[in-house]
Amino acid sequence: MTAPGEIVHTGAAEYPGLDRWRDLPLKQQPHWQDHPDFDSAYAKLSANPPLVFAGEVDKLKRRLAKVAQGEAFLLQGGDCAETFSDITADKISAKVKTLLQMAVVLTYGAALPVVKMGRMAGQYAKPRSSDSETRGEVTLPSFRGEIVNGFDFTAESRLPDPKRMVEAYHKAASTLNLIRAFTEGGFADLRAVQQWNKGFMENPAHAKYERIAGEIDRAVRFMSACGVEFEGLKRTEFYSAHEALLLDYERALTRIDSRTGKPYVTSGHFVWIGERTRDLDGAHVDYLSRVRNPIGVKLGPSTTPETVLALIEKLDPTREPGRLTFITRMGAANIRQKLPPLVEAVRDAQAKVVWVTDPMHGNTITAKNGYKTRRFDDVMDEVRGFFQVHQAAGTYPGGLHVEMTGDDVAECLGGSDVIDESAFNSRYESLVDPRLNHKQSLEMAFLVAEALTQVK
């Protein structure tokens, strides 16, 4: 308990400036500080062990430095928003499996290491275009992700509940535990992953990828025939990432690293600032400027070169390799006009950032039957535009950021094994944005691998 007038909510980590964000414009948060359970939830989170460790976070930064230099490629993927009910062994393994499958194909295409990262174990908070939602006569607070409130359209469910942050922490811990077991315990063995990819190739719809699939298969068999048995084939590094939207959660899970004395967000290895909260003088940019993790910033079509340079100045003033990733989400129709000035400004300022394409968020449409969807062809067109822009500027297209799942859902239109709108009624599961399904995700990896072989 705190006495009146005492500073509360400071969390376990004390470090100069860490609470500056509380005095700055703060968007997209629930108003729950007066909730009777807020202080106890915050105190619990503050006392809990970190989910990730500073040493792992630093290692990821070194990996991302390689991406910035054009010596590795980054794959980020997962749900738009994880839901608590989908934290099951089957769903997590399907997602990790799909990301590993994609990574093998991309590794072959890029002939470079692929840094693998899930929008997982923390992707529970969502920015919304409106604070409230109206259905008929009823207006309720918008759904902000299960770390804040429930999706059901009732007053009780939509009421923000800080105890959900503690539940999210535990869900993230169990997700990470399974991911660590999978990726270090043999599940990630390259030869097994290649067998799964053969399953994908058995579908006649994917025959056009036969050449590249055959080449990967021969490469894997060649290594086996040579008796290559090194550990690198059996296990893989896999990092967690989410949007650092809910600053109460991020602040409570910030810890001071005992080796360096510096603050780290320990809710995930990599965190990013969303398109709606990247204001230069806002709370989110200030908070992430003070922690040592590698961080991302989403850049939409309204971004100017001045903003990009100011973001670099604020978030990466010492130009630390691997520190800053720009995730562009321009839309297929915009990318070829909007991205070049940004890429050129960063290049000319001699800043080294990682450039990643998110071909999902600029290509959302509403289907005739009312579902939020994306066309696979638009998504691929944005990816192609991203590669073209970087090729013309002489800069490196460093990675791919996708909303995907390992399951056979029907949320995005198209793909070779075509999904059309009629499938939405039975197989649309996302509560928020539409994801590529398992096959669409792998198909994208094959198409990007082809594009990468052309870049080389």
Separation of alpha carbons 380 and 176, rounded Å = 30
Q: Which is nearer to ligand PEP, 146 or 275 (CB)?
A: 275
Tokens of 151: 């999706």
- With CB atoms as reference, the residue minimizing the distance to ligand PEP is 274
Q: Which is nearer to ligand PEP, 66 or 329 (CB)?
A: 329
Q: Which positions from 24 through 53 interact with ligand PEP, judged by CB under 6 A? A: none
Q: Which of 86, 161, 250, 275 binds ligand PEP (CB under 6 A)?
A: 275
Q: Which of 97, 144, 329, 338 binds ligand PEP (CB under 6 A)?
A: 329
Q: Tokens 């010492």 label which residue?
A: 318
Shortest CB 361 distance to Mn ion, Å: 6
Q: Is 361 in the site for ligand PEP (CB under 6 A)?
A: yes
Separation of alpha carbons 425 and 25, rounded Å = 40
269 binds, among ligand PEP, Mn ion, none (CB under 5 to 8 A by kind): none
Shortest CB 140 distance to Mn ion, Å: 21
Angle at 349 (CA atoms; ends 455, 322), nearest 5 degrees: 65
Using CB under 5 A as the binding criterion, the count of chain residues that bind Mn ion stands at 2
Length of the chain (residues): 456
DSSP, residue by residue, 98-135: HHHHHHHHHHHHHTS-EEEEES-SS------S-SEEEE
Residues 288 and 306 sit within 8 Å (Cβ to Cβ)? no
With contacts defined by CB under 5 A, name the span among 106-114, 313-321, 372-380, 427-435 that binds Mn ion: 427-435
Q: Which is nearer to Mn ion, 403 or 443 (CB)?
A: 403
275 binds, among Mn ion, ligand PEP, none (CB under 5 to 8 A by kind): ligand PEP
Burial group, residue 279, by CB count within 10 angstroms (0-12, 13-18, 19+): middle
Residues 420 and 451 sit within 8 Å (Cβ to Cβ)? no
Shortest CB 42 distance to ligand PEP, Å: 25
With contacts defined by CB under 6 A, name the span among 56-64, 202-210, 269-277, 414-422 that binds ligand PEP: 269-277
Shortest CB 329 distance to ligand PEP, Å: 5
Q: Helices (DSSP H) in 316-437: which residue ranges? A: 335-348, 376-393, 424-427
Shortest CB 420 distance to Mn ion, Å: 22
- As a whole number of Å, the CA-based R_g of the chain is 22
Q: Is 80 in the site for ligand PEP (CB under 6 A)?
A: yes
Q: Is 79 in the site for Mn ion (CB under 5 A)?
A: no
Residues 321 and 69 sit within 8 Å (Cβ to Cβ)? yes
127 binds, among Mn ion, ligand PEP, none (CB under 5 to 8 A by kind): ligand PEP
Q: Which positions from 294 through 313 interact with ligand PEP, judged by CB under 6 A? A: 298
Element spanning 439, H or E: helix 438-455
Q: Which is nearer to Mn ion, 63 or 242 (CB)?
A: 242
Separation of alpha carbons 427 and 194, rounded Å = 27
With contacts defined by CB under 5 A, name the span among 78-86, 181-189, 381-389, 439-447 that binds Mn ion: 78-86
Three-state SS string across 203-236, please? CHHHHHHHHHHHHHHHHHHHHHHCCCCCHHHCCC
Q: Is 243 in the site for Mn ion (CB under 5 A)?
A: no
Give the SS3 label for residue 372.
strand
Q: Which positions from 181 through 240 interact with ligand PEP, judged by CB under 6 A? A: none
With contacts defined by CB under 6 A, name the span among 44-52, 67-75, 268-276, 410-418 that binds ligand PEP: 268-276
Residues 249 and 8 sit within 8 Å (Cβ to Cβ)? no
Q: Which of 274, 296, 398, 414 binds ligand PEP (CB under 6 A)?
A: 274
Separation of alpha carbons 111 and 71, rounded Å = 9
Q: Which of 433, 434, 436, 441 binds Mn ion (CB under 5 A)?
A: 433
378 binds, among ligand PEP, Mn ion, none (CB under 5 to 8 A by kind): none
Shortest CB 407 distance to ligand PEP, Å: 18
Q: Tokens 């990790």 label which residue?
A: 96
Applying CB under 5 A, the residues found at the interface with Mn ion are: 80, 433
Applying CB under 6 A, the residues found at the interface with ligand PEP are: 80, 127, 243, 274-276, 298, 329, 361, 433
